[in-house]
Amino acid sequence: MPNFAHTKRIRILPENEIDDLFTIPEFNDDERQFWFDLNTEEQVLLESKNSIASSIDLIIQLGYFKAKHQFFNFTLEDVKEDTAYILNRFYSGEEPKCKNCK
């Protein structure tokens, strides 16, 4: 979340609405099931990824984009619960081969 305290910009939205718009989504289990569901085209795109870590990143970015219509910068460490959900759903609990993915 950017710090707007020292800017001279007009603030139209309150802090909580800014957070709702611009922070990484925090899904519950039902929301994860909905937002991380892949259609046929997305599954084909996923097959082009050469590692579990890049596939997880793609699924998370797709889910977040579907939910908030924007992309986010994060590491898999930042989104542990979403990473664990995707590992269990799509990869039967396999471990991704990257640093800080667990």
Cβ atoms of residues 28 and 82 within 8 Å = no
Q: What is the pTM of this model?
A: 0.77
User: Over the range 29-66, which residues count as b (16 or more CB within 10 Å of their CB) and which as e?
Assistant: eeebeebbebeeeeeeebeeeeebbebbbbbbebbbee
Give the pair of three-digit tokens for residue 6. Answer: 């020292």
pLDDT, tens digit (0-9, with 9 covering 90-100), for 4-14: 556 677 778 88
pLDDT score of 47 more than 50: yes
